[in-house]
């Protein structure tokens, strides 16, 4: 589906006969790549994907109060999830996303013999070797949207709606986002001489001209 999905678009995922979870599109990767022909960041891995957040509430209808209850902060899924999965529906509702609000998964990426720390547009060369990268085990990757649904139901206290209870876990995205491993994340930021508490927008500005 080559449909341009506007950031801020609210979506629903049907999880029972009369209940849904809800989320919001934060960032459309193809829109970015259309304007940035030679990116050095990890967005090429996420072609035909959108960045989403989900809200920790199961309900029959969307309510704007859900915006303050975030279950999945930001995760990539394929755009075609909304055309190929009947449970996933884009709603006729757009709630704008402030640029400073958006954050991205943080990973280590191996490119041409070198390990980079990558988050959104930020690419920081490291002195890490492949052994360290493999020990960390955090790579740019995405799934079908299934784990976002499971994580949201778990966060919302609705494990009864998770069909396979063996899928319930303490952390759902540890292999795709350093933010899910706070101790490891702090260590990597320390080794990079970066502040782990710096907002993404400021980190991006800091490295924009490097």
Residue pLDDT, tens place only, 9-49: 999 999 999 999 999 999 999 999 988 866 678 999 999 99
pTM for this predicted structure:
0.94
**Mean pLDDT across the stretch 175-184?**
96
Predicted pLDDT at 55:
98
Predicted pLDDT at 3:
53
**Mean pLDDT across the stretch 4-8?**
88
Contacts of 109 (CB under 8 A, 6+ apart): 42, 45, 115, 116, 117, 118, 139, 140
In the structure, what pLDDT confidence band is assigned to residue 2 with cuts at 50, 70 and 90? Answer: very low
Q: Which helix (H) or strand (E) holds 31?
A: helix 29-35
Q: Which helix (H) or strand (E) holds 13?
A: strand 9-14
Contacts of 103 (CB under 8 A, 6+ apart): 73, 74, 120, 200
Tell me which residue of 55, 46, 71, 63 sits closest to 23, measured CA to CA: 55
CA distance 24 to 22: 7
pLDDT at 94 over 90: yes
**Mean pLDDT across the stretch 82-95?**
95
- State the average pLDDT for the chain: 93
**Mean pLDDT across the stretch 115-122?**
95
Sheet holding 9-14, edge to edge: 70-78, 49-55, 20-28, 9-14, 88-94
In the structure, what pLDDT confidence band is assigned to residue 208 with cuts at 50, 70 and 90? Answer: confident
In the structure, what pLDDT confidence band is assigned to residue 1 with cuts at 50, 70 and 90? Answer: very low
Tell me which residue of 44, 37, 49, 180 sits closest to 107, measured CA to CA: 180
Backbone angles phi, psi at 171, to 5 degrees: -140, 130
pLDDT at 59 over 60: yes
What does the DSSP 8-state code read for residue 46?
Answer: G
Predicted pLDDT at 209:
66
38: Cα within 13 Å, side-chain hemisphere: 0
**Mean pLDDT across the stretch 79-102?**
95
Percent of the chain with pLDDT over 90: 90
pLDDT at 99 over 70: yes
Backbone angles phi, psi at 106, to 5 degrees: -110, 130
């Amino acid at each position: 589906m080559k449909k341009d999905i506007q950031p801020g678009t609210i979506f629903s995922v049907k999880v029972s006969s009369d209940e849904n979870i809800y989320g919001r599109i934060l960032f459309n990767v193809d829109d970015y790549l259309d304007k940035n022909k030679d990116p050095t960041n990890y967005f090429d891995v996420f072609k035909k994907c959108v960045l989403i957040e989900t809200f920790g509430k199961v309900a029959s209808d969307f309510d704007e109060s859900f915006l303050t209850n975030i279950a999945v902060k930001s995760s990539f899924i394929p755009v075609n999830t909304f055309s190929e999965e009947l449970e996933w529906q884009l709603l006729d509702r757009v709630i704008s996303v402030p640029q400073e609000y958006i954050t991205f998964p943080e990973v280590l990426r191996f490119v041409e013999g070198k390990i980079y720390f990558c988050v959104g547009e930020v690419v920081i060369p490291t002195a890490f070797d492949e052994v360290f990268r493999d020990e960390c085990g955090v790579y740019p990757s995405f799934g079908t949207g299934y784990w976002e649904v499971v994580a949201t139901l778990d966060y919302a206290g609705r494990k009864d709606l998770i069909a396979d209870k063996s899928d319930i876990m303490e952390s759902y995205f540890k292999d795709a986002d350093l933010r899910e491993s706070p101790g490891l994340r702090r260590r990597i930021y320390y080794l990079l001489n970066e502040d782990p508490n710096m907002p993404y927008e400021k980190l991006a500005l800091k490295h924009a001209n490097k």
